Amino acid sequence: MKGTVFIEGTAAGPLLFADLGLSFMGGVDPSTGVVTDTHHPLRGQSITGNILAIPSGRGSCAGSLVIFELLTNGHAPKAFLFRRKEVILTLGVMIANELMGLGIPIVCLEEEDFNMLGLYPEAIIQGRTISVFDGSKDFQLSHYDQACLDGKHGEAVRVATRIVIRAAQLEGSNTLIDVDMAHIDGNFYQGPGSLLFARRLVDMSAHVKIPSTMNAICIDRKLWRDQGVLEALGLPSEELAECYVKMGVRGTYTCAPYLLDEAPLFGQQIAWGESNAVVFANSVLGARTLKYPDYLDILVAITGRAPYADCHVTSMRKATTCIVVSVAAVDDSFWPLLGYHVGKIATNDIPVICGLANLTVDADDLRAFGAAFATTSAAAMFHIVGITPEASTVEEACLGQQPTRHVEIGPTELEETWRELNTSISDDVDLIALGNPHFSLTEIGRLAYLCMGKRIALNTSMVVTCGETVFEKASKKGFVQTINDFGGTFLNDTCWCLIGEPVVERRVKNIVTNSGKYAHYGPAAVQKGFHFGSLERCVDAACTGSIDRSLPIWLLSMK
């Protein structure tokens, strides 16, 4: 079998094969290499010491962070075999190789050859050198780029530029562009490797060149000690965040940077990590960003230069899969459910969804759709006809061409996905987990309205995560007090994908959430049963301590 070598090397060993993409963040334990994704066929198996063959990654931008961690702690696979270009995981390996001298071979195979891998128990990789990855040969460098490579702007900029150029070549590009802002996703603690990476950059006097914001971290900086979070997590989390602050990254601590006052504008070139933020920026705001792997985001911020590739380029924003869904009336659970399902269909393709222009939809609905879509798809954006800014028609979304695939979604398909997200077999509810991604001011206002005059059930808790800026605005409007009076609490700085014990108490058996993203990642992250439903159903469950597990009325009406 002949493939394209992304990272050269040799490897031999057992072959671990799956025909479904795997999100390393939330799907692989970074300390052991065991697959934890409850929805994946490799669940429970260890990737350590195996040659891992998967079509691509999927889901979170933080896959690069996790593979970096696995390489530094000795639990990485021996090699990767992919069916499609996979930037996030490959960049994690490339960065570990540049900074730490650690690396494994990565080869991309044609589909027919890749599919044959499932027939064989072992494999040997003897990589061949691919010249396009041998530095900057044939690469169009600006005077600034060359000065960076020559070390005229310091060692950190020189190393960062080398990696950014390699990333561009991996994307099939031979040039870089200026970007106006960055959102850094790799600032949460996953183990010693993540802190080692940031310390190394600080020691090299790295500093961001463009305005940069920071993603959520593993702790609430003000509350973690009172919550009983171990210092083994709390202290390095604080140090890691402080390293990024030293590099000039603004301490916003939110996974929803589009809710900040400095949200990007239509057509603006940016460099964002965090999968839900990437998808919202591209699809809803019409800004332009890659699905930046963790660690590449800060390196781009240090240089101010980014690969001119993928969704930075107009032609790469074209929809190729047309998805038709017909529904008359919905509640807010429809949007994350549909996003999750569409992501399973368009795993590597940009979709355009038709049939929804008659619905009332707001930014919160699109955030929920996008976060769930980004969980199951590797694509960096979507279009919805009549709703998102680059899709007034199917033709506009497809840039005047015909989509290569047409898919219809009906009640049967949506019901299957509903049951996939509702994994608990018990009606009982112990915790209502809201804010993945971080709640907006309007979501907190709606929650306050639903909670007004009510009281949470005994032995049931409700926790909302949101950014500090949004929290302050919600406090001034009285929303926070109303929710506190109900019995709910708030966390800042952190987000549900990063939260475990003791914040999620050991006594908790079942969790209810309105987030398709958390309903996917949660079972593996905290080992609890999960219910998924609308915000109103979540509040009802909080009041009674149990949940209505019937299908929503809008879904029943589709049948």
What SS3 class is residue 174? Answer: coil
Mean pLDDT of 60-79: 95
Q: Are residues 85 and 162 in the same domain?
A: no
- Give the phi and the psi of residue 345 in degrees, each rounded to 5: -80, -50
Active site residue 326: no
Averaged pLDDT, 75-90: 94
Domain that holds residue 8: 4-133
Spatial separation of the C-alpha atoms in residues 318 and 321, rounded to whole Å: 9
Contact 474, 444 (CB under 8 A): yes
What CATH number does the domain containing 513 carry? 3.30.499.10
CA dist., res. 221 & res. 223, Å (int): 6
Whether the pLDDT of residue 136 is over 50: the answer is no
**pLDDT band at 544; cut points 50, 70, 90:** very high
Q: What percent of the chain has pLDDT over 90?
A: 89
Show the beta-strand stretches assigned E in 370-420.
Answer: 383-384, 405-409
Which of 121-130, 442-451, 498-507 has the least mean pLDDT?
121-130
Mean pLDDT to the nearest integer, 48-59: 94
CB atoms within 10 A of CB 49: 14
- Asked if the structure places residue 313 within a domain, the reply is no
Distance from C-alpha of 164 to C-alpha of 173, rounded to nearest angstrom: 11
The answer, yes or no, to whether residue 1 has pLDDT greater than 80, is no
The answer to whether residues 484 and 340 touch, using CB atoms and an 8 Å cutoff, is no
Q: Tokens for 173?
A: 């590009």
Q: Are residues 490 and 391 in the same domain?
A: no
Residue 550 lies in a domain: yes
pLDDT of residue 137: 52
Say if residue 559's pLDDT is above 90. Answer: no
Residues in the chain: 559
11, 82: one domain = yes
Q: How confident is the model at residue 13 (pLDDT cuts 50, 70, 90)?
A: confident
Closest CA to 390 of 338, 326, 314: 314
Query: Is 527 within a domain?
Result: yes
pLDDT band of 133, cuts 50, 70, 90 = very low
CA distances from 186 to 63, 169, 294 (A): 10, 22, 5
User: Could you read off the pLDDT of 217-266 as tens digits, one per residue?
Assistant: 999 999 999 999 999 999 999 999 999 999 999 999 999 999 999 999 99
| Exposed/middle/buried for residue 337 (C-beta within 10 Å: 0-12, 13-18, 19+) | buried
Q: 301 and 152, same structural domain?
A: yes
For residue 134, what pLDDT band results from cuts at 50, 70 and 90? very low
Query: Which of 77, 99, 133 is where one domain is finished?
Result: 133
- What's the pLDDT tens digit per position in 521-539? 999 999 999 999 999 999 9
Q: Are 430 and 362 members of one domain?
A: no
Question: Tokens 């916003």 appear where?
Answer: 252
How confident is the prediction for the chain on average, in pLDDT? 94
Of 31, 46, 56, 60, catalytic: 60
Boundary of a domain, candidates 133, 158, 190: 133
Q: What's the CA gap between 34 and 521, in Å, rounded?
A: 15
